Amino acid sequence: MWKVGMSEEVGKALQAVVDRVNQAAARRSKTLPVVPPRLVAVSKTKPPDMVIEAYRKGHRNFGENYVSVILSIILESCPEIEWHFIGHLQKNNVNKLLGVPNLFMVETVDSVKLADKVNSSWLRLRTASTQTLKIMVQINTSGEESKHGLPPDETVTTVKHILSKCSALHFSGLMTIGRYGYDLADGPNPDFQALLSRRQEVCASLQLPLEDVELSMGMSTDFEHAIEVGSTNVRVGSTIFGNRDYPNTPTPSPEKKSKVPTEEAAKKMERLTVTEQ
């Protein structure tokens, strides 16, 4: 039954988002680097069959917040899949994550210590390979305590450390989550503007070309605006795969129905991440 109904829905939703990504890119200012935006389809809490269906429709870049979810996808069904890890990465999970086949990028390196750990682990696990691991540095542009990421004023020193001390890592760009529910009627999203400023600062200080430093910002509710102002990597989940399915969440009574999971359920989901795509 799933293959008859849901496969068609996933395909249509994916194509609709791809069209919106391309249209938003066409609206970008000509002063921005000409870097085609990458769509990362985030399937958090959804069954592997939905990832496989999107893959069959031609998509290749997928994002996950949980190492265990990435490991559960059958690689034989998706041999060319490219995994983006977008959750909070704890140092004790680094080795497990780096062992994932087809790991394309870790978008959430948020400290020098974590960068050093990922670097040393990658060197140890890939001794027979000269391939570097693509990483992004996560910045907490909104300053919210619930968000992970570097304070903005530590961006340059952290990137400089990675470039000079982490030979196994390829610095690909900057990432932010930003505050939820920002109203564009109030003007451009300040979190996106902050990430743009940090890129300018990094490139000027470390003599890097702007087009070589990607920006990962924008999710289901704001990815078009993010692309318009310069994002090169957007993380879209519910618009493609539907609303999240949180486990162990009691069914609310009619008068208390809510799309937000209970506090207890939310805490269980935060073992590796607090991000919501």
- Structure confidence by residue, pLDDT tens digits, 31-56: 998 889 999 999 877 788 899 999 99
Q: Please report the pLDDT score of residue 4 as a whole number.
A: 47
Complete domains list, the chain, with CATH: 1-37+106-236 (3.20.20.10)
- Residue 215 in contact with residue 193, Cβ under 8 Å? no
Q: Where residue 272 falls among pLDDT bands split at 50, 70, 90?
A: very low
This prediction has a pTM of: 0.86
Burial of 145 (0-12, 13-18, 19+ CB in 10 A): exposed
Q: Which residues contact 55 (CB under 8 A, 6 or more apart)?
A: 62, 77, 78, 81
Q: Please report the pLDDT score of residue 80 as a whole number.
A: 95
From CA 18, how far away is CA 139, in angstroms rounded?
Answer: 26
- Residue 41 in contact with residue 14, Cβ under 8 Å? yes
pLDDT at 239 over 90: yes
For residue 192, give the nearest of 170, 217, 210 by alpha carbon. Answer: 217
Q: Where residue 265 falls among pLDDT bands split at 50, 70, 90?
A: very low
pLDDT at 253 over 90: no
For residue 137, give the nearest of 158, 122, 163 by alpha carbon. Answer: 158
Q: Where residue 213 falls among pLDDT bands split at 50, 70, 90?
A: very high
Choose the weakest-confidence range: 185-189, 237-241, 271-275: 271-275
- Structure confidence by residue, pLDDT tens digits, 163-199: 999 999 999 999 999 888 899 989 999 999 999 999 9
- Structure confidence by residue, pLDDT tens digits, 76-118: 889 999 999 999 999 999 999 999 999 999 999 999 999 999 9
Q: Please report the pLDDT score of residue 76 as a whole number.
A: 84
At 123 the three-state DSSP class reads helix
